[in-house]
Amino acid sequence: MEVRETDGGRGTVGAVGADMTGGTTRIVRRTPAGRVAEEESRTGLADPLARGGTSSVAVAAPGTWFDGGRRGAREHETLLRALRGLPGVSVVAVDRLLCLAVAAAWRDGRATSGRYLVCDVHADATGLAVCEVSETGVRPLESAADLPFGADAFERALAAATGVPASAQAAMRERGASRAETVLGRAWGGTRFEDATVYTDHGGQVTVAQLRTAFAPFAAHLLRETAALARAVPGLRLPAEQVVTAGTLGAFPLVRQAVTDALGPAGPGHEGRTQVLEPGAAALGALLIAEGRIGCVDDRIARVGLLAHRLTADGLREIAVPLAGPDLRPAAPFAEVEGSSLVVEATPYGTGRPLLVVTDPAGGSRRLTPPEVRPGAGPYHVAFLPAWHGRGTLVLAPAGGGPSHMYPVSTGGT
């Protein structure tokens, strides 16, 4: 585990931001002096948080957590189950692209308003989103998260063309970053510098032409998907927008060139509208959300409640216990009522009555019963893992411990 401190300005002690993309969890929190301490954990979040002093956690999560698939839902549920044993800790999972937009916008203790086109490149996937940031919050305007292409395919193609092993290319790019900026910048949009050397490694030279050829399939994907975002968001053009790149290839100039080319002629001054974010940026953006210094609204997530009955002086009254919604802020890992953990009792026969209520943005609501909710008799804690575009997963975790029961749910919408 590695810990570093940077000057992050004043903030809230007890809040934690975490980035759970990749094999290592990156964690940032405030020190009593107001600095940002950063650490890396290979055992997830539970062990670092068990040291105490944590009140709220925001997790920058990959798009797979929100696509309605089993893999992401299981990873999300594992986090909630780990945090359930830490009393008083609230948590929220936020799309990593939104956290990156917050980090890009944060300057001198406040967010700089504007639209941010975020490109986040990883080994086998790339996330793209247009996010709108104001001084008080961030929200997605349009997204194409976790597209099935990434750095691995590019590195394999370059290895085949140059003999530089894929495993050595990240270090090669880091050592030659300054020259790559200069040479690839001059070569942008022309063919005069095709034979110019960009990197020198393993006794050989990597030229502009070799890089462009290996990157061409990736560039085609980026151009197509970025152009689709530009069509979906009116007026998305340089130099009015901020272009933000992050991830494994975030600093690689050809990534920025492909994204900016898709937005049409940039004109003078567009260079100052692009940012390359450091590896800890997503965790820092998550920290700002955990601290409540900036809000986050994700309208791709439905507002879902659990139907229950409360005994009052006038008899039973139906209530909807909040489980999920577009207003993303840290909350208890499992459902609570007035600060107390909610426990539901399941019967051996299941139930045919509605369990959930979904509220649409206009205030209308409808009830639904997830199919085949038969976890077995006993007491359970309840959570709902939200996904985008009318999907999610109902979680029933045995109150006495043990594996959770998980049920995919269609909440409707598009």
Mean pLDDT of the chain: 87
List Cβ<8 Å contacts ≥24 apart for 260-269.
261/223, 262/222, 262/223, 262/224, 262/226, 262/227, 262/230, 263/117, 263/226, 263/230, 263/236, 263/237, 263/238, 264/230, 264/237, 264/238, 265/238, 266/238, 266/239, 267/238, 267/239, 268/239, 269/239
The DSSP code for 327 is B
Going by pLDDT thresholds of 50, 70 and 90, the confidence category of residue 181 is: very high
**pTM exceeding 0.75:** yes
pLDDT reported for residue 8:
47
pLDDT digit string, tens, across residues 11-53: 566 899 999 987 789 999 988 888 899 999 888 888 888 888 8
pLDDT digit string, tens, across residues 84-125: 878 889 999 999 999 999 999 999 889 999 999 999 999 889
Query: What percentage of the chain carries pLDDT values higher than 70?
Result: 91
Query: Do residues 85 and 332 lie in contact, with contact meaning Cβ atoms separated by under 8 Å?
Result: no
pLDDT reported for residue 273:
74
pLDDT digit string, tens, across residues 42-93: 888 888 888 888 899 999 999 999 998 999 999 999 999 888 878 889 999 9
Phi–psi pair at 166, nearest 5 degrees: -55, -35
pLDDT reported for residue 43:
82
Q: Identify which of 43, 116, 84, 146 has the alpha carbon closest to the alpha carbon of residue 285.
A: 116
DSSP string, 210-230: HHHHHHHHHHHHHHHHHHHHH
